[in-house]
Structure 1
């Protein structure tokens, strides 16, 4: 390891409604909108709380969550009850932490998304609430219900995935359960939900510490534990969602998407998004790429502080909070990422990380920049934990490097 890039401290857990995380800029609060959607009224409330109790900075995460920053300890302690009263959290802390569940963002508004998707998601969510033993799952262990459609199957990634087969109208046995590198034959929605819960129970009983999303071979072992023979997952069901470009602008029908640059927005911007939702069906649907989907609109919205056009280069750039939000970061990587975005070749993506942990983008990127004491370490087609091929001292050096890359496919 280069002396310029020391190993980061890995905390190994995610903040939750009842488990705020202390960051360099204050306490970090996280909300999981039920089934990845919130009303305009709930969004207005979050914006008010972000300004009144925090520093007004908000993040949309790749898990469909909302994070508010800069809270005092007193404000952080009062936060859960305000969210519970607003319908944005469970009163039971253990039930709340089990609900790491993502759902296709276009469910109910995309005719190509499987018709049973919301039914399946509701059933799985209820099952997670009713299984106290699953509180032993790691904080980052997640589930998803992927109905396919405009956003193809594989756009969502989780440790245990329920994926539609033959959407938009699945057959009687129209769902497969994917866990790591293995999956089931098609099942009914009811059976698929029970299979997913059984796999999670098996994970807990085995005392695993590595998640299936990170160590795919674990999936085969878990299927064996519950008496099922998992078949090899390939093709669409293993599609890497991170390779699918974030979509902004018109999607399908009356659905439009807006993406927060680097996942960040202000309280004022969230209010603007809530006002746009009120022009449609009143809902803000969270996406796995730091975006919001609106339905019932007549035209593409223009929202200050959000990306609303599909050709914006910032859709292909990732960066963590950097300084001053994280004590481990070696620079203001978010600022640099946005400065460098216009110089990124078409079809290439850029990850600018404050340390080797690579929180913003764990997967490989065309170009990964890792901040260190001597400048940015450059990794090509790799991750922040890989050894850099060179170190570029200044942002201007990085810009020249990007401009010298071949155009088109890199």
Structure 2
């Protein structure tokens, strides 16, 4: 296992994939929840086989880069016994199931989705035939939490809602964002199983697309959602209940899980901790686990926003927790620029990237932190190419890596986009900005936004309501303050 030849494109834990900076392995953490013993074991694994750091991904996985040797059989056995590795190797590469990091503790939730996450993970573990699924097959569970995952991308999403007729809590089924089915809580696993099995049968009959297993979106484009649901119903002892009521998207506060928040459990709070670009040193993971064991319930929760949550903190311990987090070298502020960054692996880890996104993003955040104070959370996305692997929807600011020709040499740079009006990145504000010029361009954008925005307006919303020529005039790099 973790053989260094014939590596798959989508990594799991047992079989990594080859990246520019070495072997990349990905550990599925169902629902993103870890206990103290698991944290200690992961930290030891990273120290022994890699370079002492790991990364939380945008599906609340843990990603280990630069693996330099094969993992010993005894280590695999320990990981399986602790629930950190799949009981069946075949299904290990399938994407992590997503859930709100505040499941079970959120004051706004309609129900606790953690039992559903555990039940679906158990179903995957006991059905090796599901290895036929695309490794990118993704399922999400939203329990109506304030820290919602409803707007994040999943092939299948079950989102809790209250039945207006009898106040019963039911789930609405979304297929690639489209919704038309209402499901009772007791039906969830049966429906997911039928949806998945119909998809598996489809993949067996269809040849690979560009060398890869067909995605669920290919099935929906081929069959249509209604035909797919009719096929699913053949394997269910009940009919699926259709609904024509469209739900409006919920507004999700950027980085709303960061900072201190009261739990639904009286006299307890949780704290969301920022991890710049999701990066976490092994010693930081150990120290956070020790903190959670000594001052809370011993639980760490990874989030799809590449940070983490410590839950079940007695309110009397909040000051001490914040002090220890600072001593570890981390913070919980949503208004620091390093809380708001998203970046792909960049040219240091990916052959497709044209820019070193990770180092450019962190250097920009450090530079601007000395020059201005951010009043509202601002999300900034660095993408090394147009694939946009790290962020699938437009956000406040997106920088897309390019190569710029200057005289006889080619240098790295970015096209800079803002807002959500145009897919996939928003509207282009600046073309061909060099890496040297880039921090000043972002600084100018942030200063103008903070001077001219409406009180509750995000940077993306501010840019969306302005004409491009007006934005370019305001953001002009040569304009003095």
The verdict on a shared fold, with TM-score over 0.5 as the criterion, is yes
**Aligned counterparts of 1:240 and 1:110: Cα–Cα separation in 2:** 16
Aligned to 1:390: 431
Structure 2 counterparts to residues 8-19 of structure 1, below 5 A: 13-19=9-15
**Quick one: structure 1 residues 133 and 291, their matched pair in 2 at CA, closer, same or farther if it must change by over 3 Å?**
same
Structure 2 unaligned regions, length at least 5: 1-6, 207-213, 234-239, 264-268, 405-412, 454-461, 464-481
Aligned to 2:228: 222
Aligned to 1:403: 444
Aligned to 2:379: 349
Do the aligned residues in 1 keep the contact of 2:415 with 2:432 (CA within 8 Å)? yes
Do the aligned residues in 2 keep the contact of 1:60 with 1:290 (CA within 8 Å)? yes
1:214 CA displacement: 12
**Aligned counterparts of 1:172 and 1:213: Cα–Cα separation in 2:** 34
Aligned to 2:291: 276
**Quick one: structure 1 residues 153 and 71, their matched pair in 2 at CA, closer, same or farther if it must change by over 3 Å?**
closer
TM-score (norm 2): 0.73
Aligned to 2:127: 131
1:240 CA displacement: 8.2
Q: How many residues align?
A: 396
Do the aligned residues in 2 keep the contact of 1:246 with 1:289 (CA within 8 Å)? no
Alignment of 1:140 onto 2:131? no
333, 353, 362: which one pairs with 1:338?
362
Do the aligned residues in 2 keep the contact of 1:259 with 1:306 (CA within 8 Å)? yes
Do the aligned residues in 2 keep the contact of 1:128 with 1:197 (CA within 8 Å)? no
1:360 CA displacement: 1.5
**Aligned counterparts of 1:13 and 1:176: Cα–Cα separation in 2:** 33
Spell out, residue by residue over 1:115-138, the C-alpha distance to the aligned partner (whole angstroms, 9 max, x if none). 352332233223333333322111
407, 412, 415: which one pairs with 1:377?
415
Alignment of 1:362 onto 2:396? no
**Aligned counterparts of 2:390 and 2:219: Cα–Cα separation in 1:** 16
Structure 1 unaligned regions, length at least 5: 1-10
1:142 CA displacement: 0.9
**Aligned counterparts of 2:65 and 2:74: Cα–Cα separation in 1:** 14
**Aligned counterparts of 1:240 and 1:76: Cα–Cα separation in 2:** 46
Q: Secondary structure at the match of 1:126?
A: helix
1:233 CA displacement: 7.4
**Aligned counterparts of 2:61 and 2:36: Cα–Cα separation in 1:** 16
Aligned to 2:50: 54
**Aligned counterparts of 2:201 and 2:31: Cα–Cα separation in 1:** 27
Aligned to 1:154: 150
Do the aligned residues in 1 keep the contact of 2:360 with 2:435 (CA within 8 Å)? no
TM-score (norm 1): 0.84
**Aligned counterparts of 2:380 and 2:95: Cα–Cα separation in 1:** 31
**Aligned counterparts of 2:274 and 2:246: Cα–Cα separation in 1:** 29
**Aligned counterparts of 1:364 and 1:213: Cα–Cα separation in 2:** 23
Over the aligned positions, Cα root-mean-square deviation in angstroms equals 3.3
Structure with the greater relative contact order (CA < 8 A, sep ≥ 6): 1 or 2? 1
187, 190, 193: which one pairs with 2:186?
190
Aligned to 2:407: none
**Aligned counterparts of 1:76 and 1:365: Cα–Cα separation in 2:** 42
**Quick one: structure 1 residues 400 and 292, their matched pair in 2 at CA, closer, same or farther if it must change by over 3 Å?**
closer
Spell out, residue by residue over 1:61-119, the C-alpha distance to the aligned partner (whole angstroms, 9 max, x if none). 11111111211242488764442133211231124344731222222223432335233
1:24 CA displacement: 2.0
**Aligned counterparts of 1:171 and 1:126: Cα–Cα separation in 2:** 30
Q: Secondary structure at the match of 1:63?
A: coil
Aligned to 1:252: 262
**Aligned counterparts of 2:283 and 2:401: Cα–Cα separation in 1:** 30
Do the aligned residues in 1 keep the contact of 2:55 with 2:278 (CA within 8 Å)? yes
**Aligned counterparts of 2:133 and 2:125: Cα–Cα separation in 1:** 13
